[in-house]
Amino acid sequence: MNDVEERAREIQNNVLEIIDVLQNLESKVERLQKENELLQRFYNYFYYLYGTGLEVVNRHKNGNPESFDNLFDAAEQGMEESE
């Protein structure tokens, strides 16, 4: 085998490895897009309760009601802090 053939084989192997990596990335992107969609639905479910006057009882284990909006705001703030 001459140098050109050897180099061509190396390039072909590299291309095949790149294709494999890209296929794996594509699969991960699809999975993350589905996960993101589900998380967005979950978020939207609670977002639509915001501002409706809903109260949560016993959040602090003291038996007192608290506005759902406070709970929602605290959860959003916690998400922002973790970024």
Q: What is the chain's mean pLDDT, rounded?
A: 93
Q: Give this prediction's pTM.
A: 0.66
d(CA 22, CA 35): 20
Give the H or E element holding residue 70. Answer: helix 68-82
Q: Which residue is listed with tokens 């978020």?
A: 43
Domain ranges (residues) in the chain = 1-43, 49-83
What does the pLDDT read at residue 1? 72
Q: How confident is the model at residue 81 (pLDDT cuts 50, 70, 90)?
A: confident
Q: What does the pLDDT look like over 38-50, one tens digit per residue? A: 999 999 999 999 9
pLDDT tens digit sequence for 5-27: 999 999 999 999 999 999 999 99
User: Taking residues 43-65, what's their average pLDDT?
Assistant: 91
Task: Look up residue 45 and give its two tokens.
Answer: 């479910």
pLDDT of amino acid 61: 87
